[in-house]
Structure 1
Amino acid sequence: MNKYGLSAINAVQIYNKSGTNSPLDAWNQSTIELFGENTHNQKKGCPKNAFLGLCEEGLVRGVPKGNYTYRSDSLNKAYAVEAVELLRGNPLLANDKNGLWKKVMRGVKKQHNSQMDVVLALWGNGLIVLE
């Protein structure tokens, strides 16, 4: 698991245990601890917006639905939500990050930017709502 996956897991734990104000606050706290404050990796938008998009849709255990993303972040949210739907239909995709990404992209040639690391870390740790 890479640091963005770990950031997502830690952010859920921070949110659920300390009662931070929002999933964004929890994400920021987690990434500051792992990457350092104001570093490029701490500020990286794709994994953050994938995480916030899942939270926004009520797909992360313990985090209520809400408005956590900006309209401009909708692509990363859509990628993450689609990945969860695909995993629900075929949990074996959790063993193939690149295969999952290819299915999410439906033939469009684009490299993932840690969105799938976030999804798969949450999935693998039982933090995705399965209904």
Structure 2
Amino acid sequence: MANRYGEAALMAVKMDTFGKAYTPEERWQDAVGKLYPTTPIGQKKAGPRNAFLGLCEAGLVKDIPAGQYASWTSNGNRNKAYAVQAVELLKAGTHKTVSSLWAAVTDGENVEHGSQMDVVLALWKNGLIV
């Protein structure tokens, strides 16, 4: 099973929208609100959020059209790039774990993993990456 941020990504994609057009950001906020109801820091963690929104923007998430969904800071844009690159590695079949993906996308940088790859792998393993 995915960690909570991977689970949040799955919930966000599978969210029943009842005919309303919820943005990926609204979907993400709904999911983390349910998973972290009493932990605002858990709800606001930027790495997994930016990975999810970055994949959505790139048109890589099933049933979510490509588009502009976030205003990016340099770190947010970096997390988006990590997530998109991780999908390319998964499609190539060269990397399959959180640690191997993280090592590859950070290319030796001393950057702590912040659940970005958990989001990518949860979507990948559940057939939600296109």
Scaled by the length of structure 1, what TM-score is found? 0.90
Partner residue in 2 for 1:74: 77
Q: What is the CA–CA distance in structure 1 between the aligned matches of 2:105 and 2:123, rounded to whole Å?
A: 17
Partner residue in 2 for 1:110: 111
Q: What is the CA–CA distance in structure 1 between the aligned matches of 2:38 and 2:8, rounded to whole Å?
A: 13
One-letter amino acid of the structure 1 residue matched with residue 115 of structure 2 = S
Q: What is the CA deviation profile of residues 74-112 of structure 1, one whole-angstrom value per residue up to 9, with x for unaligned ones?
A: 11100100100111111x622x21011101111212221
Residues 58-97 of structure 1 correspond to what in structure 2 (within 5 A)?
A: 58-72=59-73, 73-90=76-93, 93-94=95-96, 96-97=97-98
Kept in 2, the 8 Å contact 1:20–1:26? The answer is no
Residues 1-131 of structure 1 correspond to what in structure 2 (within 5 A)?
A: 1-14=2-15, 17-18=16-17, 19-36=20-37, 39-72=40-73, 73-90=76-93, 93-94=95-96, 96-129=97-130
One-letter amino acid of the structure 2 residue matched with residue 93 of structure 1 = H
Runs of 4+ aligned residues of structure 1 deviating over 2 Å after TM superposition are none
CA positional deviation for 1:21? 2.1
Q: What is the CA–CA distance in structure 2 between the aligned matches of 1:37 and 1:52, rounded to whole Å?
A: 23
Structure with the largest fraction of helix:
1
- In structure 2, stretches of 5+ residues that fail to align are none
Instruction: State the identity as a percent.
Output: 46
Higher relative contact order (CA 8 A, sep 6+): 2
Kept in 2, the 8 Å contact 1:97–1:116? The answer is yes
RMSD: 1.3
Q: What is the CA–CA distance in structure 2 between the aligned matches of 1:48 and 1:20, rounded to whole Å?
A: 19
Scaled by the length of structure 2, what TM-score is found? 0.91
